[in-house]
Every structure is written in structure tokens, then in C-alpha cells.
Amino acid sequence: MRGKPFQEIGDSLGIGRRHRYTCLVSLNSKALPRIARGLAAYCLVFLIVLAGRPSFTNASLPVRGVADPVVALQMARTADEAEAILGDAPSADREVMRVKQYVDFALIAGYLALGLVIAAALYRTRCRRVAFFLGILVVLAALQDVRENLATLRIVNLNLSQLRPAMLGALRFTSVTKWILLATAIVPLAIINVTQPRWYLRAAGFLSFAGVALTVAGLFYNSILVWGGLLMFLGPLLTAVTLRELTHESTS
């Protein structure tokens, strides 16, 4: 028995190749939804942490109607708008912004892993092209999100006299690209959801569509961008919770 290939061992025990493949697929079909639910919980926790303390002071003023200072800085166009959000260095709001970016790195890792797990689960159904498309777009969006956070940290470390419009323009371009990539990735996933017979799968799809619509509108009317991004994020979280049912319906 020593040195004997695993395939021959399986054959000697009466476990054929087809049976071994069926067991492997069954194991993965059970494991991926569990992993997705765990990652959804992880992302939800970090969303709550990101919205919680430390909080920005009353000195941090909303810009372009955006209540969230993090998103407001992403959309800022001038040094005056950045000053209204952060204040001149050093300031408590700059330290809060720095902490928020570090927390966001953890959230990026979570939604990247979640997107890839959902893509892997869909790849085992009839939606292989959608799964491949989703995986590529999630990776690109996460890379842009990391670049966005690094650009924000560079701005936080600069005095207002050192801040140039080109830096804010680069941050805004990176942020807009990230939002577009995320919205594009979620659209085919939402289409799959709304075509399912179960009401909660359709609800996840319509929630995603609403988030995408508000996010795209928020790129022009920045005051609603925060709410669009939140709804767009909740759609995939609900999809992750119902991933077992979604993949079952897609294969039938």
C-alpha cells in the first residue's frame, strides 16, 4: 500500500472516479454558502465599525451635501472643500479620517473575498460567464478602493498649503472608477436574483438595482452617493445569506 497512488486506493475501496467527483462537488456546494455567510457577517461588522467611533467633530462640515466626511473628501474638488472636511493639520478630524481608512482596508478584504466566493459558487451553475465577469470586476474594484485609501492617507498627511487640485482630482477619479466597477459587477448578479422564483432572492436583486441606480445618480448628485453605496452593498450581503438557494435555483 505504501507509495500507492490515491486514485488506486480509492478504486480498491470501491470508490470510483465519478463518485469521488460527486462527493467533492457536494462538499464545495455546502462549504461555499457557509463561507459566504461568514464573510457577509464579517463585512457587516466592519460596516458598523466604520460608521461608529471615532466620530468626526462638529468642525467637519458637509461638502456638496454629503453628510459622510469620508465620501465628501472623495468628491472634494478644491482645497477649501478639503479644509472644511479635515481642517488644517494637525486636527482631530484628520486622525479620525486616518482611522477610518485603516478600518476600510479590512472591509475591502472582506468584500473582495465575498465577491470571489459568490463568483466561485455561481461558476458551478449555468452562470459561468457571469461568475468570471463578477470575479474580475470585484478584484479591479478592490484595487481601486485600495488606491483610493492610499490617496486619502496622503492627503491627510499634507498641510493645506501643500495640497494641489491635481491630488484631489486623482482621488476623485479613483473613487468614481471604484463606484462604477462595483455597480457594473453587481448588475449581472442582480439580474440573476430577480429572475429567481423565491421572493427573498428577488428582493436582493431589486435592492441591488436600487443601490446601483442611486450610486450612479450619486456620482452626479453627490448628496445621495452614501445611500446608494449602502443599498448597493446590502444587496450582495443578502445574496450571500441566500447563496445556497440561489445556486440551487440556477442549476435547476
pLDDT tens, position by position, 7-62 = 443 444 444 444 443 433 444 567 888 899 999 999 999 999 988 888 888 888 77
User: Would you place residue 93 in the very low, low, confident or very high pLDDT band (cuts 50, 70, 90)?
Assistant: confident
Cα-based distances in Å from 82 to 63, 156, 210, 211: 9, 9, 30, 27
Alpha carbons within 13 A on the beta-carbon side of 204:
26
- DSSP annotation of 252: -
Say if 35 falls within a structural domain. yes
pLDDT for the residue 215:
93
* Ranges 13-22, 44-53, 138-147, 215-224: which has the least confidence: 13-22
SS3 content of the chain, % helix, strand, coil (to 5): 80, 0, 20
Say if 1 falls within a structural domain. no
Could you tell me which of 85, 93, 79 has the C-alpha nearest to residue 63?
A: 85
Alpha carbons within 13 A on the beta-carbon side of 154:
15
Q: Which pTM does this prediction carry?
A: 0.83
Grid coordinates belonging to 218? 450619486
Residue 218: pLDDT over 80: yes
Say if 19 falls within a structural domain. yes
Say if 142 falls within a structural domain. yes
Could you tell me which of 155, 191, 168, 146 has the C-alpha nearest to residue 76?
A: 168
Q: Which domain holds residue 187?
A: 6-251
User: Would you place residue 250 in the very low, low, confident or very high pLDDT band (cuts 50, 70, 90)?
Assistant: low
- Helices and strands in the chain, H and E counts: 10, 0
pLDDT for the residue 187:
92
Residue 157: pLDDT over 70: yes
Mean pLDDT of 107-136: 89
Bridge partner residues of 66 (DSSP): 63
pLDDT for the residue 200:
85
Looking at the 3D structure of the chain, how many domains does it have? 1
Say if 76 falls within a structural domain. yes
pLDDT for the residue 249:
56
